[in-house]
Amino acid sequence: MSVATFVPEIWTGKLLTAFDKKLVYADLINRDYEGEISAAGDTVRINSVGDVAIAEYVPGTTEVDPETLDTADQTLVVDQAHYFAFEVDDVDKRQAKAGLVAEATRRAGHNLADIVDQFIVDLYTGVDADNDIGGLAITDGDTAYSMLLAMRTACNEADIPDDGRWAVLPAWITGLLLDNSKFVANPALAQTGGNLLNGKIGRAAGFDIYESNNNPLITGDDYLAWAGIKPAITMAQQINEVEAYRSHKHFADVVRGLLLYGAKLIRPDAIVTVTASQT
């Protein structure tokens, strides 16, 4: 590659592909409000409508008085910005095997995705307190599976829709599940066998189950496990710029890129959390 043949659209596409392949939460949140983002600090306005009241109707007697809808305005601020920059020395470019820039681009996409994942998972602190199951000791496959059932019950009690429910667990919990006969024998697990991507390990208790090393250590040996639906969290992101130029210090091409993004928990009542303890 040289600056003369660098095509920003091509390399932006390659970076986005690498980014999406490694972003565990890409399939778990929505991007409904993602628009054109050009500078850190841009905002997305999100309007939501309150509940509609239902009243009894008696034919010939009831006078129908329409209510005024309550609306709420939330702001998604695109205030997170990260960049990468690497150079390819002319000598290395001549002597290295093909794919040097492609591999560097893949690594950049992976590292950006990891940062975004960490940002998204930290939104768990805003979940409604009533949707926090509290601490559970997860010491074997049976207790891990029981935790899934407890999360399912909590979702049902919170009237969280069945469709598209997900659960993201630390790797040590998914390891226990994969050694549990109730989980492994679940027919729904086999149905996902050809589609285990982006951390997905299967399906059980009404959830698509994912694992992530970014689920935080809350305290001691207590880790976050959580479940929810796509409408709960929204994100807006864009690779704002990918460009190449000649280094003014070395005989090398420099490639750099800038990622702008923001995420918001817009439905704190649509997530259930567990503090999962290893002891």
Q: What is the DSSP string of 210-256?
A: EE-TTS-EEETTEEEEEEE-GGGEEEEEEEEEEEEEE-SSSSEEEEE
- Averaged pLDDT, 39-67: 83
- The whole-angstrom separation of Cα 16 and Cα 105 is 9
227 belongs to a structural domain:
yes
Same-domain check for residues 34 and 155? no
- Give the pLDDT confidence score for residue 193 in this predicted structure: 46
Confidence grade of residue 238 (pLDDT, cut at 50, 70, 90): confident
Q: Which residue has the higher pLDDT, 162 or 20?
A: 162
Confidence grade of residue 243 (pLDDT, cut at 50, 70, 90): confident
CATH of the domain at 77: 3.30.2400
CATH of the domain at 222: 3.30.2320
Calculate the CA dihedral of residues 121, 127, 130, 131 and round it to 10 degrees.
-40
CA distances from 210 to 97, 149, 271 (A): 36, 16, 15
162 belongs to a structural domain:
yes
- Give the pLDDT confidence score for residue 277 in this predicted structure: 97
- Give the pLDDT confidence score for residue 1 in this predicted structure: 52
pLDDT digits (tens, 9 = 90+) for 199-222: 788 899 999 999 999 999 999 999
The answer to whether the beta carbons of residues 62 and 227 sit under 8 Å apart is no
The answer to whether the beta carbons of residues 129 and 269 sit under 8 Å apart is no
- Averaged pLDDT, 20-28: 75
Same-domain check for residues 200 and 158? yes
In which domain, by residue range, is 90 found?
3-49+72-122+234-264
147 belongs to a structural domain:
yes
Confidence grade of residue 101 (pLDDT, cut at 50, 70, 90): confident
58 belongs to a structural domain:
no
Q: Which residues contact 178 (CB under 8 A, 6 or more apart)?
A: 184, 201
Same-domain check for residues 163 and 144? yes
Same-domain check for residues 91 and 205? no
Residue 154 confidence (pLDDT) above 60 = yes
63 belongs to a structural domain:
no
This prediction has a pTM of: 0.82
65 belongs to a structural domain:
no
CA distances from 91 to 94, 123, 168 (A): 5, 45, 45
- How much of the chain, in percent, has pLDDT values that exceed 70? 83
- Averaged pLDDT, 107-130: 92
Confidence grade of residue 32 (pLDDT, cut at 50, 70, 90): confident
User: How many Cβ atoms are within 10 Å of 260's Cβ, its own excluded?
Assistant: 22
Same-domain check for residues 106 and 21? yes
- Give the pLDDT confidence score for residue 195 in this predicted structure: 46
Same-domain check for residues 137 and 160? yes
How many separate domains does the chain show? 2
Same-domain check for residues 169 and 213? yes
Same-domain check for residues 104 and 154? no
Q: From 42, 34, 45, 44, select the one nearest 73 (Cα to Cα).
A: 45
Same-domain check for residues 104 and 239? yes
Residue 94 confidence (pLDDT) above 70 = no
Same-domain check for residues 11 and 109? yes
- Averaged pLDDT, 258-278: 95
Same-domain check for residues 207 and 164? yes
